[in-house]
Structure 1
Amino acid sequence: MSASTSQVTQRKSKQLLLDELKNQTVIIDGFNILIILESFFSGAYVFKGLDDCYRDVSSVHGTYKRVQQTEEVLVAVGDFLQKAQVKEVIWIFDKPVSNSGRMKTFLYTLSRKRTYPWQILLEYNPDKILAQSNHIITTSDAWILDRAKQWFNLSGAIIEAHQAEKPNTILFPE
């Protein structure tokens, strides 16, 4: 949640705007984006950091379970990125986390049904892949943001677009 002034400045200097996503490949930090948005859509607390990224207080410790809001979140992400005319979306999930294989299958099924241009990868070290990518990445993980070449605040954009629909969700602005 907290960051130094230089970290915030550096992160914001690499942050892209929505119109810069057109015809680009976007790589999503799977569990990071999914869990933040599941928290928001379920009415749990999400917090806006100094770097404008939203974060939750949930954590994944080796296991993940789908919740009632999971499909709604995935559709919100898919529809948002389709409207942004993204060329391709690559979801990366932590392979060691239980149920990541089931999540991969669920995303593939949803992507075929809704014609989302998605690839889903399971990796042992997704943070390193995201941090070193030449594509646009989406995460709120500070370690990745500090190393990324370029990024888009996907969870922030979706949260702010849906804010009016979730009046009971409390956001703590900077």
Structure 2
Amino acid sequence: MKVSDNFFRAVCDYRYLLERDYPQKSMLKLVGDRYALPAAERVMLYRGLATEDQVKNRKEKVIRQLPPHTRITIDGFNVCRTVGSYLNGNPVFVGMDGLLRDVSELHRKKLKWEVLEKAVDFILQFLAEKQIASAWFYFDTPISHSGKMCALVNSRLPHYRLSGTAETVFSPDYELIQTTKGILCTADSNIIENAQVKVYDLAHQLILERFSAKLFSFPEYLLNKKEEQC
């Protein structure tokens, strides 16, 4: 993913304001307009940058390897849409916290059903190879196709000899935050910061392992720019 010439300066300004607790949406407009950033790069700032304390807190919760024979609870749309976006060729990137983000998500771009079907199959195959004990998917009831996604996952679980189920709930965030057993699979920052168990960035690890993907990474980007100190 190529970024504009002004992106680094925008990142520096945004991080400065973020650390000083300025209103995020206001400073996003201020910085975005100042450097004439395209929409995708504004989303990258908003979703990819975090304070040093937030980054530290999230990294303490996240694990890089999924232990076998583990029960996992999955943020359904978060994981499926991120994998689907990558399969669809939409921009995805790694935030300062090391978690995978989807640029298109905030623009409400809909993925074709066949792309989501492929994403589900890739996810279930990946989990089967990791020899998990069971997988419990939660999808947002208010979001369209949530019932259809549940039916798809439930119909495919036996094919991969996986135990578990998929269901719709009004707030997957609540269900995941309340979980006290196993491991959570999400890249949602609010869930991670409030999680009571460890978190695994399923979409990120799947894309790295299955496709050997070369993704834009804020930590790597800033490391390469270290001679241009913010």
- TM interval, short-chain normalised: 0.7 to 0.9
Report the aligned-residue RMSD. 2.2
CA distance in 2, matches of 1:61, 1:41: 17
Please give the secondary structure, in 2, of the residue aligned with 1:91.
strand
1:38-64 C-alpha deviation (Å, 9 max, x unpaired): 011111100110111111123389997
The residue that corresponds to 1:117 in the other structure is: 163
Contact 2:140–2:171 under 8 Å retained in 1: yes
In structure 2, distance between residues paired with 1:104 and 1:60: 23
The whole-number CA distance in structure 2 between the counterparts of 1:92 and 1:158 is 19
Matched-pair contact (CA < 8 Å) for 1:27–1:89 = yes
Equivalent position of 1:163 in the other structure? 211
2:104 equivalent in structure 1: 58
* Structure 2: gaps of 5 or more residues: 1-47, 219-230
Aligned to 2:7: none
1:144 aligns with 2:188: no
Q: Output the amino acid matched with 2:190.
A: W
The alignment covers a number of residue pairs equal to 169
**Residue of structure 1 equivalent to 2:57:** 10
Secondary structure of the structure 1 residue equivalent to 2:157 = helix
- Secondary structure of the structure 2 residue equivalent to 1:68: helix
| Counterparts of 1:159 and 1:63, CA distance in 2 | 20
Higher mean Cα deviation, 152-161 or 58-67? 58-67
Q: Is the 8 A contact 1:53 1:155 kept in 2?
A: no
In structure 1, the residue corresponding to 2:195 is in which secondary structure?
coil
SS in 2 for 1:34: helix
Instruction: State the identity as a percent.
Output: 27
CA distance in 2, matches of 1:40, 1:114: 22
For 2:72, what is the secondary structure of its paired residue?
Answer: strand
Shift of 1:127: 0.5
CA distance in 2, matches of 1:61, 1:99: 18
Give the TM-score normalised by structure 1: 0.87
Question: Quick check: which has more Rg, 1 or 2?
Answer: 2
Distance 2:168 2:176 in 1: 13
Please tell me whether the aligned partners of residues 64 and 100 of structure 1 are also in contact (alpha carbons under 8 angstroms).
no
Contact preservation (8 Å) 2:84, 2:115: yes
Matched, 1:153 2:201: yes
